[in-house]
Amino acid sequence: MKIVIIGAQWGDEGKGKIVDYLANEAQIIVRFSGGANAGHTIVIDNEEYALHLIPAGILYPDKLVVLGAGMVIDPMALFSELSMLNKRGIETTGRVFISDRAHIVLPRYIEIDKERDAARKIPIGTTGRGIGITYSMKSKRDGIRLADLSWKERMDELEEADHEFLAPYLDQLLTMTIDMASFIQHRKNAQTLFEGAQGALLDLDLGTYPYVSSGMSSASGAALGGCVGPRALDKILGVFKAYTTRVGNGPFPSEFNASSEDELCGFIRKTGREFGVTTGRPRRCGYLDLVALRYACFTNSIDALVMTHLDVYDTLSEIKACVAYRIGDKMVEDFPSSVQALNTARPVLRSFPGWKQSLADRLTYEEFPLEAMEYIEFIERFCETPIHIVSVGYERKATIIRKSPWRQ
C-alpha cells in the first residue's frame, strides 16, 4: 500500500509526528518535495528530534528512507543532519537514499535567495535557504542534479566556488544516490509512506501565489517526486491543526486580530509551541479556517484528515472556527484565488462550547468529551471528509486512531 501524507493548511501542521507514528507499519518512507526550508519536530520519550531533510521514518531502525526526485538538497545541511542523528544513536548508514533526479542547492543560490527577497517591494518572507532559487534554476534547465555529478561536461560548467563546495561531499552523495524509479518499482509491494513538505495552501499552483513555496506541496507532487504514477497511490491523508497558523507573509483571513485578540494569540502560540523549527520565527495564529481546509480536501482528493493540536484548546470555554468570508458586501463560501480578495476578507465565525478538561489521558475517541466530539464531527461534515486520526500531544502515544490508513 502507498499512502501520501500532506499538510492541509500553510505548513507546520504536525506532519512529522504523524509520519513518524504511521511509519511503524511502513517499510519505506519517501520525502517527495521541498528542502531544508521544512522542519519536523518529533518527540519520543521526552526526547526531541528536529528534522529538515531526512524523512521522519529514520527514527525506526528497520526503515528505509528516500529523499525524492522533487526535492532540492543542500549537501551541508544534509550531512549535518545525518551527523546529528548518528551522534544521538540513530544509525543511518545504508538506510538513507537520494533520487538521482533531485537537485542540489549551491551556496550562491542561498545568497541570491536572500538578496532577491530583500529587494522585493513586499517580501515573500522566504526562509533564505536557497530553495526558491534552486527550483528556479531547475525550471530554467540550469540546475544540477545528483545524476549530473558524474557528468564531466556538465560539471565543467559550474563555477570554481561550486566545485570547492561540492568536493567534500561528492563521494558520499554518489554512494547514496539511486535510480529512484527502479528502486520503487522493485519494491512495488512494500508499505510506503510519501511525506510532503509545507502545506497545500503553499503549493506553487494551488496556493496563495505568490506567497507560496516553490515546490509541489500538494498531493499530486507525491506521484512526480516519488517516481510513481498517480494511480499507484492508494490513500491521501491531509494533516491540519485544530486552529490555523502561517509563517511569513501572505493572506490569512482567519488570523487573530492584533488588537482585540492578542491575548488569545499569545495563548495559542505559547501552548502550541508555535515557533518555526527551521527559522525559530513566531508563527502567525488564527481560527481554524474551514473554507481553506475544505478547498484543500477537494483539490487534493484527501481521503481522510488527521487533526493535531486539539489539546491546545483544553482550557478554553469557547472555541471559534471560520465558516465563510465576508469580502466587501458579499458572503463568500469558497476559497478565492485572488490575494487581494483574501487580504480584505473578514472571517465569519461559528462558536463551539469548550470541553474544559484534559484530553491527554484519553486512549480512544469514545472517551473524548461530547463538546470535543461535536467540534470534530462538525469539521467532518463541513469538509465532507472524515477525520481518522486525532493527536492530543507531542508523544507518539498521544495519538487516537479512529481508523488506521493501513487498513482497507
Residues involved in catalysis: 12, 40
Q: How many Å apart are CA 390 and CA 15, to the nearest integer?
A: 12
| DSSP letter (8 states) at residue 256 | P
- The residue among 387, 388, 392 whose CA lies nearest residue 404 is 388
Q: Which three cell numbers stand for residue 267?
A: 495563548
| DSSP letter (8 states) at residue 296 | H
Question: Which CB contacts under 8 angstroms, 24+ apart, belong to 44-50?
Answer: 44/20, 44/395, 44/396, 45/395, 46/395, 49/85, 49/88, 50/277
| DSSP letter (8 states) at residue 264 | H
Q: How many Å apart are CA 321 and CA 269, to the nearest integer?
A: 17
Q: Which three cell numbers stand for residue 191?
A: 508499505
Give me the sign of the Cα torsion angle 296, 206, 269, 342: negative
Grid look-up 517516481 returns 227
Q: How many Å apart are CA 234 and CA 2, to the nearest integer?
A: 5
| DSSP letter (8 states) at residue 34 | B
Spatial contact of 352 and 271, defined as CB atoms under 8 Å apart: no
Q: Which three cell numbers stand for residue 344?
A: 480584505
- The residue among 13, 96, 91, 90 whose CA lies nearest residue 47 is 90
